[in-house]
Amino acid sequence: MTLSIKVKNLFGDKQKKRKLNALFAEKYQNLYRLAYAWCHQPAQAEDLVQETLLKALEKSNDIENLEHLDAFLATIMRNTFLDVMRFNKRWQWTNENEIDEFFSKDCSETEMIAQQKSECLYKAMASLPFEQREAIALVDLQGFSYQQIADITATPIGTVMSRISRGRESLLKRMKHIEKYGTNIVPLRR
């Protein structure tokens, strides 16, 4: 079974490299879902996935067991996304309102996709604080356990639990608000 193959010293084995290449291709769409749920911009999501896979290649010698590949990739993607936000100085130098506003701002592509399906859910997700959006996407889109999310986000498991619980409650409120008023909402403050 491919997933149980140990990939230590991967660079020395062409066949194993090919298997990892194929696995990365297989993971692409799933990673894109996560990236899109985090940033809500299709082009940015594609870049994020690409950057993640590149970094994963660089660090492939660190992969001890492909069973943990999903968590490994999610961790890289999260760190990459945080780097992006820091790099743009929208993480360190602005307040949370501005981060939320930036990442929930609609572009024409996002608008079109949102109209097709789940418009309300997407708008509400986009307006959540990032740490809640991140935790919900990891548990609901990727099926990670709370412990895995705690490891990926380097956060205590109690905090993960709280983010998921508060995030979903907030998501429901925001969805109801959007359904009622038909417009996006000002992000709620904690």
Partner 1 sequence: MKHSIETYHLHAYIDGELSYEEAAEVEAAIAVDLKLKEKLEELNQLKTKMSLAYTENIPKPVNSKLPNFENKHTLENKHTPWWTTSKAAAASLFLGLLIGSGALKLYMANNLADSPMMHQTVAESSQNYLVHLDSDLPEKEQKTIKQIESLLDDSDPNIRVDLISNYKGVELFDVNNPNSKELLRLVGKYPNLTLFACKRALERAKKEGRPITVLPQVKKDKPAIDAVVERLKSGWNYIKI
Residues at the site binding partner 1, with contacts judged by CB under 8 A? 11, 17-18, 20-26, 28-30, 32-34, 36-37, 42-44, 46-51, 53-54, 57-58, 60, 84, 87-88, 113, 116-118, 121-122, 125, 136, 139-141, 143, 145-146, 161-162, 164-165, 168-169, 171-172
Residue with tokens 């084995």: 13
Task: Give the separation between CA 10 and CA 131, rounded to whole angstroms.
Answer: 34
Closest Cα partner for 72 from 142, 132, 158? 142
Max CA distance (Å), the chain: 59
Task: In angstroms, give the least distance from the CB of 177 to partner 1.
Answer: 15
The residue (of 61 and 95) whose beta carbon lies closer to partner 1 is 61
The residue (of 101 and 146) whose beta carbon lies closer to partner 1 is 146
Task: In angstroms, give the least distance from the CB of 178 to partner 1.
Answer: 14
The residue (of 33 and 68) whose beta carbon lies closer to partner 1 is 33
The residue (of 49 and 152) whose beta carbon lies closer to partner 1 is 49
**Contact (CB, 8 A) for 185 and 174:** yes
Task: In angstroms, give the least distance from the CB of 68 to partner 1.
Answer: 17
Task: In angstroms, give the least distance from the CB of 188 to partner 1.
Answer: 16
**Contact (CB, 8 A) for 66 and 4:** yes
**Contact (CB, 8 A) for 19 and 2:** yes
Task: Give the separation between CA 3 and CA 130, rounded to whole angstroms.
Answer: 31
Task: In angstroms, give the least distance from the CB of 37 to partner 1.
Answer: 5
Residue with tokens 């961790």: 75
How many residues in total does the chain contain? 190
